[in-house]
Structure 1
């Protein structure tokens, strides 16, 4: 680890957070005029001062060579320090505790969407837009980290990328240079966001609501400017618009590049992960529609269909929007939705969860082992995209699945130790590990019932889930610190 290299790298995201807060300060002064401009100016000055100190400490350091250790530490500290810096306006405006403000900011930056705030309908609009924008920034940060930054980290980064996109895709970078990749990602992200905002506006939202919710739909973050989330609008059309852009946000941005930039539209269907992702949405939605038809009487069949599809997509893409009181649904649906959140979106997208590509590989490994029980002398390889999957990739995928299950169990026990009941603890941990947001039990509305100790446990869960477990756990290994 080279301290000055990491310090210089960290100056960039901190300076970016300071710039965003400075921009929102002026936006509040000239547009919203809601009295929060001073808080944003103060926060921007403070975060900018820290960024300047980091730069002054390491300004002579050259960044021509970044080691895997440096890159992984930088990735972890970026999400942590950016979250702490972004928390300052939340702390000043809402007057919640620093622990709760940090939770809200990390939830935003990791696109989790879990919240400890209530009374959103009456909060300053400029502040709420800042909160939405943080998720939008976090969503793009995730995509750049997975698609553009990890390949740059040589061995360490590529090993992580192998676990994310196995088979022949693992070395398939978007474009040769990191700068070009970032530029294309920005362009695609902006196009999707603008299209989402325009579609929301056409569907009946105000311009403010359309822009605010487009930030958290494409980023699959799930924050809303209303306590009742998407249920505030009472519109099936808006739910269907959200469905489209939640799915687009949860599909690999590598595919979006091929489709939008290279006009290779067939790649969407030729990609095995995307096909399975769409199939799973269709099948699980059908199950929910059938179950709710038997269990709940809706005013119309169209409302039942809209609510079922919307919540399946919202949980599976780890967005976490709500459109109705899920506590009125049968108890089994809550567990089904939690299971759906573990499936996740596609690799290289803004979505969380295990990722569909890992689900596919895991299913094929299980199928292979069952086949070999009956035919012990047979040779049956695991294939993805019609290509053989190497043993190293199979091991990485299974290790990830083991970590996902182990962390869910361990963090649930830790949260229960703070006094939380099992169901609340399990769904809260699942919501944070899968960067989903909403939980059930005592956290069905917000995370206020969780103690301060529990909040820091969930902060760790959000970082673990967003950085794909390996990134943080690798820091705990003695071998990681040996060059």
Structure 2
């Protein structure tokens, strides 16, 4: 039996948290002399409904099992989206439900795809809330609540498992709540560092804090219509590259690095593959740009490195239109939509550790064919990968591919050309932002039909929660009583 009262209590706490996180946006709105009523109204609505739900069931104290964990994570994203939409709708800056849904869910899932055609005309308070939605979704709202729920008398281990279904097993601390706290300390610290450096580099404080939030979230929302291309500054672009790279790195690896445990960093096979893949891809992209002539190699390499890091880490910032690099490089960037960053990072996508496991296991299969009686273990980070984990990864890759194929078919049936259909689904499922076709790096998603926006919103959520957390809710055995 599912403990619905306990779930309602947790949803109430989440809405209260959302209300608190809206306050800085309302303060910015007042500072810039804007109408702050939509934001304060959203804060009041979220607080009241959240308070009623929490205090009505505050005496509930039942253990959260795995089933409740999955349901809580799915519902938390639904409620965060519905209440996160309120500032857009109440301000009438976004009029339709599907547009508000798309923009909010794109923020919370850190996809960064947008329906806004003139970002700079939006009120600054709303733009800050838009950036905040990505920061909230970056490391996962549930990880934050795992850290603070013990103060509310709510356990959190099942929530952490459901929100972080990636194949990483690294632990910062044996207590899950302490792990969540330390990861958030790293997240907040890096966000502040990026903000300060952007500010030093020439951004206004407002733009710096917005880009600091969305860089570490690998979200890609910008306060400028031209995204990062607005800032013609090598310093700002290198700062963005550095922090995007960090945001796409497993946060436990960053933590160990900050603690001086460099052997743990160098032991990570995923980190080494992730770093060398980005460097290699940047060189491949930079060479034809440089070969065309007219620019020096540093500029060509920086341009290539920025686009590669932005796409691989699923951040989605733009400084150039990579679809103008030729058909070969355009296809290469399309393939990058399926890479993703590291497991345990704020990046979306498949994740490098899954690719690494799949490639290593496929290579070892040839050896097993030649030596059928030999026991040939698969090793990652010096540890043996169990058959159960390999099966889970293979199933994930298959479901991911099937979702991409079926999603592209749906978009094609809705009337979009092949490149746009493939690009829109790939970038939504990988939570990247820009793609190919009519949703390239200099385009947006405003032209899509209401049905397409709602469908892609669902695809974004599937990708952010790594498929299983949502799809398991559609299985009959999930709802059967124990």
TM-score, length basis structure 1 = 0.92
Give the equivalent residue in structure 1 for 2:32. 32
Name the stretch that deviates more: 202-211 or 302-311. Answer: 202-211
Mapped partners of 2:73, 2:33: distance in 1: 36
* Contact 1:84–1:106 (8 Å) recurs in 2: no
1:393 Cα deviation from its structure 2 partner: 0.7
User: Paired residue for 1:136?
Assistant: 135
- Between stretches 351-360 and 126-135, larger displacement belongs to 126-135
Q: Secondary structure at the match of 2:64?
A: coil
Secondary structure of the equivalent of 2:262?
Answer: coil
1:6 equivalent in structure 2: 7
- Provide closer, same or farther for how the CA distance between residues 22 and 145 of structure 1 changes in structure 2, counting only shifts above 3 A: closer
The correspondence of residues 226-305 of structure 1 with structure 2, limited to 5 A, is 226-260=224-258, 262-294=259-291, 296-305=292-301
SS of residue matched to 2:445: coil
- CA shift, 1:373, in A, is 3.6
What is the SS of the residue equivalent to 2:140?
helix
- Measured in 2, the distance between the counterparts of 1:86 and 1:458 equals 18
Shift of 1:162: 7.2
Structure 2 contact 107–137 (Cα < 8 Å) conserved: yes
**1:5 deviation in Å?**
1.2
Equivalent in the alignment of 2:89:
91
Task: Please give the alpha-carbon distance, in whole angstroms, between the structure 2 residues aligned to 1:142 and 1:348.
Answer: 14
Change (3 A) 1:152 1:371: farther
Question: Shift of residue 33 of structure 1?
Answer: 1.4
Taking the aligned partners of 1:160 and 1:188, their CA distance within structure 2 comes to 18
Aligned counterparts of 1:194 and 1:103: Cα–Cα separation in 2: 28
Cα–Cα, structure 1 residues 181 and 380, in superposed 2: closer, same or farther, change >3 Å? closer
Q: Distance in 2 between matches of 1:298 and 1:90?
A: 44
1:310-349 equivalent positions in 2, closer than 5 A: 310-349=306-345
Aligned partner of 1:468 in structure 2 is: 466
How far did residue 408 of structure 1 move? 0.5
CA-based RMSD: 2.3
Give the deviation of 1:416 after TM superposition.
1.6
SS where residue 220 of structure 2 aligns? Answer: coil
**Native 8 Å contact 1:163 1:397 kept in 2:** no
Say yes or no: does 1:186 pair with 2:167.
no
**Residues in 1 aligned to 2:142 and 2:237: alpha-carbon distance in whole angstroms:** 25
Cα offset, 1:130, TM superposition? 1.7
Greater mean alpha carbon deviation, residues 88-97 or residues 406-415: 88-97
CA shift at 1:212, angstroms? 1.1
Contact 2:138 2:219 in 1 (8 A): yes
Structure 2 counterpart SS, 1:266 = helix
Cα shift readout 1:229-279 (whole Å, capped 9, x = no counterpart): 00001122211111110011111111222222x331332222111111101
CA distance in 2 between counterparts of 1:28 and 1:127 reads: 8
Once the two structures are TM-superposed, the CA of residue 196 in structure 1 deviates from its matched residue by 0.8
Cα distance in 2 between the residues matched to 1:84 and 1:267: 41
Structure 1: state its 5+ residue gaps: none
Q: 1:338, CA displacement in angstroms?
A: 2.1
Q: Which moved more, 1:334-343 or 1:345-354?
A: 334-343
* Residue 152 of structure 1, CA deviation: 5.0
Deviation of the 1:86 alpha carbon: 0.8
Q: Name the stretch that deviates more: 88-97 or 237-246.
A: 88-97
Q: 1:66 aligns with which of 64, 67, 86?
A: 64
User: 1:368-379 to 2 correspondence within 5 Å?
Assistant: 368-379=364-375
Aligned match of 1:117: 116
Shift of 1:91: 2.3
User: For residue 106 of structure 1, what is the aligned residue in structure 2?
Assistant: 105
How far apart in 2 are the matches of 1:147 and 1:7?
Answer: 16
Residue 45 (str. 1) matches residue 41 (str. 2): no
| Alpha-carbon displacement from aligned partner over 1:419-439 (angstroms, at most 9, x marks no partner) | 111111111111111111112
* Paired position in structure 2 for 1:359: 355
Cα distance in 2 between the residues matched to 1:190 and 1:223? 18
CA deviation string 1:36-82 (max 9, x = no partner): x011011112222321232244233114x101111101111111210
Cα deviation digits, residues 147-180 of structure 1 (max 9, x gap): 989x9545x9759967522xxxx2x432233332
**Residue equivalent to 2:203:** 205
Would you say the 8 A contact 1:109–1:137 is kept in 2? yes
The alignment covers a number of residue pairs equal to: 471
Aligned partner of 1:214 in structure 2 is 212
Q: CA deviation digits over 1:111-168, x for unaligned, max 9?
A: 110100011122222221221122111113268289989x9545x9759967522xxx
Aligned partner of residue 342 in structure 1, secondary structure: coil
The separation in 1 between residues aligned to 2:317 and 2:448, in whole angstroms, is: 21
1:404-423 superposed matches below 5 A: 404-423=400-419
Q: Distance in 1 between matches of 2:172 and 2:194?
A: 24
